[in-house]
Chains A and B, each alone.
Chain A
């Protein structure tokens, strides 16, 4: 009896385990056949498969994480789009006019635009979207245009007007962002109109619709039959969710992916290896941002401009870029690269020059006592702490290089790897000597950049606290953001960027670029000018 029991129990445990495993398989068997069928049709249609590190999230144009910008931008469109060099082009708004005081923006909407469900796009739905965003304005307070917005109005069927509390020139740039100012169709709105809690359907005016989606596995986009503009050349875009960079590369080599696109989506080693294999096309975008070091002038030692300049002169950016980023990033001489509006100005680059660096330190009174390796002044050693994101291999390697380079000019650099959230926390509180920082890219810059130079709470303003001309600088920033005069703005930007460069509280290290690798079948790949937009506008395939 006892024996029988024992056996029965063992057998039942085993069979439960077995059936669980088999159930998992059989449950999936049906989806596989469906998938295989889909793959077969894929052969005959023009399609592109790429990978993305994270699930695309909910397709709601008014929310942030975990919704992925690339996917949101495929479905939802802006009034104005951001083109190469910062040019603002008509998109859902055909034209616009700005009142003389810079407060009233009137948009003429493009006629005959329909949402993917066939409903019309008009001023009423634009207003409804703005109302939904403003309902939750606290979450969007980082965005200038939301803070400046006073009221919105649907003047007539195709005229939309927004009034600002005060002039804010980058309002148009802000409207070209992927979120939160793009447009959801009527059918997507929940009863109470509050989209922050979710949408019913992802109805947009964009060239793509989300037609098949499995959380954490894949998302399939097909052409929107009601699209107002030129229809995409490819019929389908499949986004496979592959979190691991090495797996991504292998899936690409095997042909499961047609392209790998993005920022930091594969290791630099892998990129170069794929490039050198000669089997695929690889490309780098224009700079999308500058990797910089913030030297916090609220630290007494770094308050001295000569010390900051010494540090700036004291390391070899070129070698750093070549050695650490394997040439995938470009040496940065300017704080903002020249492909943004108002940034194409000539500032004197601060070159690698150890003699100059030591001369600055000597002049500032930091002497090297005999037999010691660290400079001292009034008995205090020249010792600083650099904080970096410990999960970021580039920051780590750059921190170690800076440590070695600055040691050669008698500066002791302690490097501390932190969790990203802690690093951000410390940066915002201004609790750092040296920290890594990257600007926001297009279409956020240069206005978002100068905004954080003036506004406290982001770490950048904190780094500039002790600059002698800090007040003047803040004044210039505020003038630049509210000025309605184009020439005046250009002048102000020129002056701000020049001052920042000379003061070296932000030390540009390298320009970050997006990478793409694709198989021969992919043609006409062009990097989007807007950092967050999808790259499928002109893309085609050869089969």
Chain B
């Protein structure tokens, strides 16, 4: 088990390196010269003289391979340079905004777990009942409505019309309600359907029949046996979505004026703030990798049918 985890953790290094390489190349392939982007963001007229000076300062006059090596060394020290726009260290700016984003992502995950697990489970157990129809409708709605539109609708009804929540900003739990719901609805849609399908599948398994013949109570079978196994794909989904959520709050942060790092990133894209874009891509890559690892480990604990040994042997 330990060697498996160690292997997985070691594997992170080449994956992250590969991600930084792709990111580095993509930025260099873009038609915009970073020196020129810097000057445009600073509203300085790019004369050849200043351009040359900036290129030298950013190390853009070096061969690509050296530039890449320098980027990697800097990133390993969490040095992403200074933002072209604010002239502040990118890492400081990102970490200052991260708590707001994490708060939103975590509360969305929690809400989606709290709603989708009972809902998905009940709609499988009481297949074709009222609750199942409701969960289907909710999933249909959640999966198809664009997030920004849902955000506007919620603001319109719950803030403007009913005056229950503030329209924008961050500060109290009231501020958190609408953005959390906007973010979690799509997740609820996915998890509910996932769990429902998974529970229905497990219910066909022979161990359920066996348990029934042993006279174990239906409730015990469902909760202790079926749900425990059926929840596995939901956990995978959760892990995948944790990374997606942290990077995908952009639209919601924009709509609700939530001061997180998604919004910071939108500004960076519009202004071609390359150091920020670089940091963001790097963080996103790390997040996805780490979340995947965590999911795999949790799965191993949760589902005894996946063995450590089997994993390590391959």
Give A241 Cβ to nearest chain B Cβ, in Å. 6
A242–B42 Cα distance when bound, in Å, is: 22
With both beta carbons as reference points, the residue of chain A lying nearest to B50 in the complex is identified as: A138
* Interface 9-mer from B8-16, B96-104, B128-136: B96-104
Binary contact readout B19-44 vs A (1 if CB under 8 angstroms, 0 otherwise): 00000000000011100110011111
* Residue pair B259, A216 in contact (C-beta under 8 Å): yes
Q: B256-314: which have CB < 8 Å to A?
A: 256-257, 259, 263-264, 266-267, 270-272, 298, 301-302
Which residue from chain A places its CB closest to the CB of B251 in the assembled complex? A244
In Å, the complex CA distance between A242 and B26 comes to: 31
User: Judging by beta carbons under 8 Å apart, are A425 and B36 in contact?
Assistant: yes
Enumerate chain A residues within 8 angstroms of B31, measured Cβ to Cβ: 422, 425
Known: A18-B110, A247-B256. A142 touches B32 (CB 8 A): no
Determine if B257 and A142 form an interchain contact, defined as CB atoms under 8 angstroms apart: no
Cβ-defined partner of A21 (8 Å) among B33, B106, B298: B106
CA distance A254 to B43 in the complex (A): 36
* Contact A240/B267 with A24-B99, A424-B40 known, Cβ cut-off 8 Å: no
Which one, B43, B176, B254, B257, contacts A65 given CB within 8 A?
B43
Task: Write the chain B residue with the least CB distance to A256.
Answer: B167
How big is chain A's contact interface, by range? 35 or more
Q: Say which residue of B86, B102, B257 sits within 8 Å of A242 (CB atoms).
A: B257
Pick the contact of A141: B47, B85, B255 (CB < 8 A).
Answer: B47
Determine if A373 is an interface residue (Cβ-Cβ < 8 Å): no
Bitwise, A239-266 to B at CB < 8 A (1) or not (0) is 0111110110011011010000000000
Q: Which of B74-111 contact A (CB under 8 A)?
A: 85-87, 96-97, 99-100, 102-103, 106-107, 109-110
Per a CB cutoff under 8 Å, which of A21, A254, A391 touches B160?
A254
- 15 A-B pairs with C-beta separation under 8 A: A21-B106, A24-B176, A28-B171, A31-B171, A32-B171, A66-B85, A141-B47, A142-B45, A215-B96, A242-B168, A244-B257, A247-B255, A247-B257, A256-B166, A422-B32
Chain A residues within an 8 Å CB radius of B254: 243-244
Closest residue of chain A to B180, judged by CB?
A21
A459 to chain B, nearest CB (A): 12
- For residue B190, CB closer than 8 A to chain A, the reply is no
**Binary contact readout B149-169 vs A (1 if CB under 8 angstroms, 0 otherwise):** 000100110011001001111
B55 within 8 A of A: no
In the assembled complex, the Cα of A422 lies from the Cα of B43 at a distance in Å of 15
Q: Taking the nearest CB of chain B, how far is it from the CB of A182, in angstroms?
A: 16
Report the minimum CB–CB distance from B250 to chain A (whole Å): 11
Taking the closest CB of chain A, its distance from the CB of B167, in whole angstroms, is 4
Query: Mostly helix, strand, loop or mixed at chain A's interface?
Result: helix
- Judge whether B41 and A65 touch: CB under 8 Å: yes
Q: B204 — which chain A residues lie within 8 A by C-beta?
A: none
Cβ 8 A contact of B85, one of A65, A138, A244: A65
Q: CB of B210 within 8 A of chain A? A: no
Given contacts A25-B103, A247-B256, A256-B167, 6 further A-B contacts (CB under 8 A): A18-B110, A215-B259, A247-B155, A247-B255, A250-B159, A253-B160
Cα–Cα, bound, A250→B148 (Å): 14
Provide the residues of chain A in CB contact with B225, threshold 8 Å: none
| Chain B nearest Cβ from A352, distance in angstroms | 35
CB of B144 within 8 A of chain A?
A: no
Q: Which residues of chain A from 193 to 244 have a CB within 8 Å of any chain B CB?
A: 197, 214-218, 240-244
Contacting residues, chain B, for A37 (C-beta < 8 A): none
Give the chain A neighbours of B40 by CB distance below 8 A.
421, 424
* A444–B135 alpha-carbon span in the complex (Å): 60
A29 at the interface (CB under 8 A from B): yes
User: Which of chain A's residues have a CB closer than 8 A to the CB of B107?
Assistant: 21, 24
- With both chains docked as a complex, state the minimum distance between the C-beta of B86 and any C-beta of chain A, in angstroms: 6
Shortest distance between the CB of A531 and any CB in chain B (Å): 15
CB <8 Å contact, B152 and A17? no
How far is B171's CA from A218's CA once the two chains are assembled, in angstroms?
Answer: 12
Is B213 close to A, CB under 8 A? no
Contacts of A241 in B (CB 8 A): 257, 259
Per the 8 Å Cβ criterion, residues 1-51 of A in contact with B are 5-6, 9-10, 13, 17-18, 20-21, 23-25, 28-29, 31-32, 35
By beta carbon, the residue of chain B nearest A252 is: B167
A85 within 8 A of B: no
Residue contact A250 to B103, C-beta cutoff 8 Å: no
A237 to chain B, nearest CB (A): 17
A21 lies within 8 A of B110 (CB): yes
Q: How far is the CA of A65 from the CA of B85 in the complex (A)?
A: 6
State which of B43, B96, B159 has its C-beta within 8 Å of the C-beta of A64. B43
B302 and A6 within 8 A (CB): yes
- In the complex, what residues of A have CB within 8 A of residue B206's CB? none
The answer to the question of A494 belonging to the interface, with a C-beta cut-off of 8 Å to chain B, is no
Given contacts A64-B42, A65-B42, contact A251 B168 (CB under 8 A): yes
Whole-angstrom distance between the Cβ of A456 and the nearest chain B Cβ:
11
Q: Is A385 an interface residue (CB 8 A)?
A: no
- Given A24-B102, A142-B44, the answer on whether A421 and B171 have CB atoms closer than 8 Å is no
At the interface, yes or no: B170 with Cβ under 8 Å from chain A? yes
Please state if B171 and A66 are interface contacts (CB–CB under 8 Å): no
Are A246 and B152 CB-contacts (below 8 A) given A25-B173, A216-B259?
yes
- A179 nearest CB neighbor, chain B only: B43
In this assembly, does B172 line the interface, its C-beta being within 8 Å of a C-beta of chain A? Answer: yes
Residues from 285 to 338 in A contacting B, C-beta threshold 8 Å: none
Residues on the B chain within 8 Å of A424, using CB: 40
Closest to A218 in B: B169
Q: Smallest CB–CB gap between A173 and chain B, Å? A: 18
Given known A-B contacts A421-B272, A457-B47, A254 and B301 have beta carbons under 8 A apart: no
Residues of B within 8 A of A32 (CB): 171-172
Distance between B98 CB and nearest chain A CB, rounded to angstroms? 11
How far apart sit A344 and B97, CA to CA, in the bound complex (Å)? 50
A409 to B152, CA, bound (A): 43
Closest-by-CB residue of B relative to A455 is: B45
Closest to A142 in B: B45
CB-CB < 8 A to A197: which residues of B? 87
| Residue in chain B with minimal CB distance to A16 | B106
